[in-house]
Chain A
Amino acid sequence: MDPRTIRRAAPAALLAAALLLPACGREEALAVGDGGAGGAAAGEAPAERPAPVARAATALERPPAAGAIYDRWETIGVAEGLPARKVLSVTCEPDRVWACTEGGLAEIAGGKVVRVWTPADGLAHRVVTSCARSATTGDLWIGTFGGLSRLSGGRITTWRQTTSGLMNDVVYGVDCEGDRVWCATASGLSWYDFARDRWGVYDHNNAVFHEPWVYAVTVGDGLVWLGVWGSGVISLEPSTETWREFRDPDGEMEVELVPDDGPVHVITSSLSYDEGAVWQSTYFGVSRYRDGRWRSWLKKDSGLPSDFVNSVKARGRWALFNTDSGLCVTDGDHWAVYTRRADGKGEVRLTRPGREPEVRVLDTAPPHDFVFQSDARGREVWIATAEGVGHGTATGGATMVPAEAGGSERR
């Protein structure tokens, strides 16, 4: 296919897919951003120029270093109070989980839906893509298909492209650092300095973007990382407005001609940062940038179940890749893929170095194999799927890294 054709057609297709296509099969999907949650941290002294990005230490417990094998699954769907079947992202906090659905924002606590926010409550739009908590104020910032909303003190305030400096009402992803909330939008990147009521925008006219569509934003390592359609991965040092673009050096859209030479593809669906690594998901494989080096994986040469990856969430050394064929948890060497079998049982397929691939059947299953996004805390994982929220728990002591490799797996 002519790359230009892809470039022209894909955004509309992706947008339409998230809204219109049935939630099954190998469908194009919405790229959702990383909604990292922050914990308590000191605020920043007011300054005209933004201080270097310093992400607040999160209070969220990371998955075990040896990885967890989630052997028990439960579903929270419409019957349990979710406002819609399709869940576009989940964000874990120590005491609750936020489910961003096509019918509003749901708050899950104690395994139950305790509150749902919709446009009737002031939410910018019923389709909620992502959310992130500001460590500075404790407010929750919410990206929707109709603008940016803020949940503070139980009330919602909304900013739109017509009522504020927000670049575009279609907000794919949000993340917070200091006094700023960053918004990945369909027309570029917006930041809002809520302490000074000031907006900034970046797009292909004033930044290094090749196209305006920003699908993901994540803050980490003193930088703001962007997933821009057609521009691969871009980093921004906000205080100096220093940009760096990472594109696939081999320039091939269809194949990974030279492995590990850069991002696997220039069409980034999502990014996530944690512990010194930026993970990239694309519809053509996945990549990781760490210590100045790129490494990429495709289905054919890894445990990845599909090259069609909706999004990624980094937690500790582990990345959760959310694909059209299940949830894939990996550190780049060890791979676990969670899917739902036709008989309603679950299945985890383990691919580990030096061992034959192994399939384990689970009594319970994730709600659906089309996973939009996920998040993990401790020995739990939460996934946003086409059929509600899946909640996986590692009940046993099994780990992905075998004992002989430093883990403590028990069978």
Chain B
Amino acid sequence: MRSPWIRRGLAAAGALLLLGAGAALAARSHVGRFTRQGPPEDYRCGRCHGHWTLFRRGPIREGYPDPAGLALSPDGRTLFVACEGTDSLALVDVASGRVRAEARFAPGSLPQGVAAAPAGRSVFVTLRGRDRVAAVDAASLEVRESGVVGRGPSGIALDASRGRLLVANGESDDVAILDAATLEPVRRLSAGREPWRIAVSPDGRFAHVVNRLSALHAAGDLPVSEVTVVDLEQGRVRSRVPLPSSHLAEGVAFLPAGDRSLVSLVRVRNRLPITQVARGWVMSGALALVPADGEGAAALLPTDDMDRFHADPAGVAVAPDGSRAFLAAAASDALSVIDLPALLAAERAPPPGDGGEKVDRMDLAADYVAARVPLGANPREVLLSADGRRLFVSERWDGRVAVLDPAGGAVLHRVDLGRPAGGPSEVRRGDRLFHSAAITFQGGFACRSCHPDGHQDGLVYDFEIDGMGRNIVDNRSLLGVHGTNPFKWTGRNPGLADQCGPRFAKVLTRADPFPARDLADLVAYIDSRPPRRGNGALTASVERGRAIFFRTRTNDGREIPEGNRCSTCHPPPLYTHRRSADVGTRSPLDTSGEFDTPHLLGVVGSAPFLHDGKAPTLEEIWTLHNPRDTHGVSNDMSKQQLNDLVDFLKTL
């Protein structure tokens, strides 16, 4: 023992022992804190943190610019491009077609929408990932940020005469009105579901807000989206113009006369069996003419051809002289040039004699679609210069902006926003496939058509593989699915390769399946998508809800059977035990009562709920669909406890 080496060795062993004991205690405490369980049998880090996606708060950043919103400076010399992929605003010299400067935002900002002040140097950018709006000085590139304006701000428009900004908050389903000078909030107006883009009428009286998702509705009802019409003078919602059987309205522009707006949308017939894909009866593109003051119904007209779809209609622009409109078909890599007078004539024409609707006539678009201009990959945003002589279209996947001659539709040149060296990674290639309709029958739709942003469209579908009208299933998010296999509500697909493979082609796309390499790329892309974020609230209610989620006893002290505790089937960190369970939600049209247990990450934005979407809100899972405590023990809860539980779930 006198040897210093022995003493040092013993001291080191003792220190290690103490360190290990301390770490073990800390781990126990940490696990107990987050699970509300007693000392667990297994508290290794990998038990909960083995899934690397949990550590990321945003998508993989590979240095691609992913251009989103576009705007022009008052003099038309500078094009502003929000680059979602590089958290920057590119200032492009229109004459030379080169990026002359770049304003940088904090990592994870995900800049999305852009609006330029008609005078001065301010450019306003929504920072979708950080819930803020930035004002960029176009000369000094100085960035000034607002406070939180809502959740997921995307579209932005300037009400110049009143000095106000209108911001569409896609995740909090509202429109923030800000003071353009101070960026201070003035009002928050309720919008539809996932408000996306905004346009202000030429006379400055109204703003039209297009919403991507249909309103929450009872199972069995048709989805109805809306155009939210804001009275700018009053600062109130004046009207909500319904868009029946429609969703994914992502583009809006006013006609020069100012009496109506043109809205791009997807006409969806999700209650029809998927066998109708071949007839264009499941989803097709359309334009809606919406009265500026919101009084009256919208007129819907189709935009696809009889034998070819132009999928994922996105940005819209209208020529100042009212001769043409331009519509990006994001999943078809094309731009549709619309003869506007012909479109309006078609709208005025008598309805078809068969009692149907014009929007369902696939032969109608030929009367007013003047041209289809091929473009680069994933064109989304469309912007026309004030004089109508230049048309700018963002090509998201290519990282470029195409500059076109609106008269002839010719691409004059492209603005390269930069890209990383080397070829695209498999994730990037998968991104391309995910957003392309090339794989589906007649280019009808892309993966993204039902999974905008990789998430879900809030609808239920009838996959006739189980028999028509049977086994209606809620569309599930593809965000955060890494490690949550098996997939499908039946849990039949052990991995994403099975989910997106040949069976998928047979059931859904009605075309050749993805080649093996493409399938691997697509799986890599989906696997890379992080979960949708929760609402981030850390309140006393959330803490109480966490305790309820992990509780083992009822309010009167009875032990809850282990199999009937929330945390048994939805254990952290994924909040799924990846097995099927019968929670008593089977309907008469279901073949089985056993369903795959979904993960709960980002559940706040995943309505409706349960396998067939029968619960439009989280509360209904327990208030209406758990009468016998088969989906966890909930019937002993007070209203406050249920509210607390819901508050906790919304943070996941």
Closest to B146 in A: A45
A154 to B242, CA, bound (A): 11
Q: A182-196 interface mask toward B, CB cutoff 8 Å, 1 = contact, 0 = none?
A: 000001100000111
When the two chains form the complex, which single residue of A46, A154, A165, A206 contacts B150, counting CB atoms closer than 8 Å? A46
**Which B266-297 residues have a C-beta within 8 angstroms of A?**
294
Any B CB within 8 A of the CB of A275:
no
Chain B residues with Cβ under 8 A from A43's Cβ? 177, 185-188
Listed stretches A74-82, A131-139, A246-254, A315-323; interface member: A131-139
Any A CB within 8 A of the CB of B589:
no
When the two chains form the complex, which single residue of A42, A45, A164, A200 contacts B541, counting CB atoms closer than 8 Å? A200
Any B CB within 8 A of the CB of A239:
no
Return B348 CB to nearest CB of chain A, in Å. 25
Return B169 CB to nearest CB of chain A, in Å. 9
Any A CB within 8 A of the CB of B619:
yes
- Do A201 and B185 have beta carbons less than 8 Å apart? no
Chain A residues with Cβ under 8 A from B617's Cβ? 163-164
- Do A137 and B147 have beta carbons less than 8 Å apart? no
Return B149 CB to nearest CB of chain A, in Å. 7
- Do A138 and B236 have beta carbons less than 8 Å apart? yes
A358 to B228, CA, bound (A): 55
Any B CB within 8 A of the CB of A363:
no
B-side binding surface: helix, strand, loop or mixed?
mixed
When the two chains form the complex, which single residue of A42, A153, A163, A194 contacts B620, counting CB atoms closer than 8 Å? A163
Task: Find the residue from B147, B235, B237, B646 having the highest chain A CB count within 10 A.
Answer: B237
Task: Find the residue from A42, A164, A165, A200 having the highest chain B CB count within 10 A.
Answer: A165
Q: B623-635 interface mask toward A, CB cutoff 8 Å, 1 = contact, 0 = none?
A: 1100000000000
Closest to B647 in A: A198
- Do A46 and B147 have beta carbons less than 8 Å apart? yes
- Do A137 and B646 have beta carbons less than 8 Å apart? no
A-side binding surface: helix, strand, loop or mixed?
loop
Closest to A135 in B: B187
Chain B residues with Cβ under 8 A from A46's Cβ? 147-150, 185
- Do B236 and A201 have beta carbons less than 8 Å apart? no
- Do B240 and A198 have beta carbons less than 8 Å apart? no
- Do A152 and B624 have beta carbons less than 8 Å apart? no
When the two chains form the complex, which single residue of A155, A188, A195 contacts B188, counting CB atoms closer than 8 Å? A195
**Which B224-278 residues have a C-beta within 8 angstroms of A?**
226, 228-229, 234-240
**Which B485-520 residues have a C-beta within 8 angstroms of A?**
none
Chain B interface size range: 35 or more
Any B CB within 8 A of the CB of A44:
yes
A136 to B147, CA, bound (A): 17
Return A209 CB to nearest CB of chain B, in Å. 13
- Do A201 and B147 have beta carbons less than 8 Å apart? no
A138 to B189, CA, bound (A): 8
**Which B316-353 residues have a C-beta within 8 angstroms of A?**
none
- Do A137 and B619 have beta carbons less than 8 Å apart? no
Any A CB within 8 A of the CB of B29:
no
Q: A137-B187, A137-B188 are in contact. Are A197 and B172 (CB under 8 A)?
A: yes
Chain A residues with Cβ under 8 A from B642's Cβ? 165
Any A CB within 8 A of the CB of B184:
yes
Return A242 CB to nearest CB of chain B, in Å. 15
A199 to B535, CA, bound (A): 14
Return B195 CB to nearest CB of chain A, in Å. 13
Q: A45-B147, A162-B619, A163-B617 are in contact. Are A138 and B234 (CB under 8 A)?
A: yes
**Which A187-244 residues have a C-beta within 8 angstroms of B?**
187-188, 194-201, 203, 205-206
Any B CB within 8 A of the CB of A48:
yes
Chain B residues with Cβ under 8 A from A44's Cβ? 185
Return A69 CB to nearest CB of chain B, in Å. 35
- Do A161 and B639 have beta carbons less than 8 Å apart? yes
Any B CB within 8 A of the CB of A6:
no
Closest to A139 in B: B190
Chain A residues with Cβ under 8 A from B228's Cβ? 153
Any B CB within 8 A of the CB of A40:
yes
- Do B240 and A196 have beta carbons less than 8 Å apart? no
- A to B CB contacts below 8 Å, 20 in the list: A40-B235, A45-B147, A46-B149, A48-B537, A137-B189, A137-B236, A138-B189, A138-B235, A150-B190, A152-B237, A152-B240, A153-B228, A153-B236, A154-B239, A154-B240, A154-B294, A165-B642, A195-B188, A196-B172, A201-B643
5 nearest A-B residue pairs (beta carbon): A138-B236, A153-B237, A162-B623, A153-B240, A165-B643
Residue ranges of B at the interface with A (Cβ–Cβ < 8 Å): 147-150, 172-174, 177, 184-190, 226, 228-229, 234-240, 294, 535, 537-539, 541, 616-617, 619-620, 623-624, 638-640, 642-643, 646-647, 650
Residue ranges of A at the interface with B (Cβ–Cβ < 8 Å): 40, 42-46, 48, 136-139, 150, 152-155, 161-165, 167-168, 179, 187-188, 194-201, 203, 205-206
Q: With A40-B235, A138-B237 given, can you name 7 additional A-B contacts, CB distance below 8 Å?
A: A48-B537, A136-B188, A139-B237, A153-B236, A164-B617, A164-B619, A197-B173
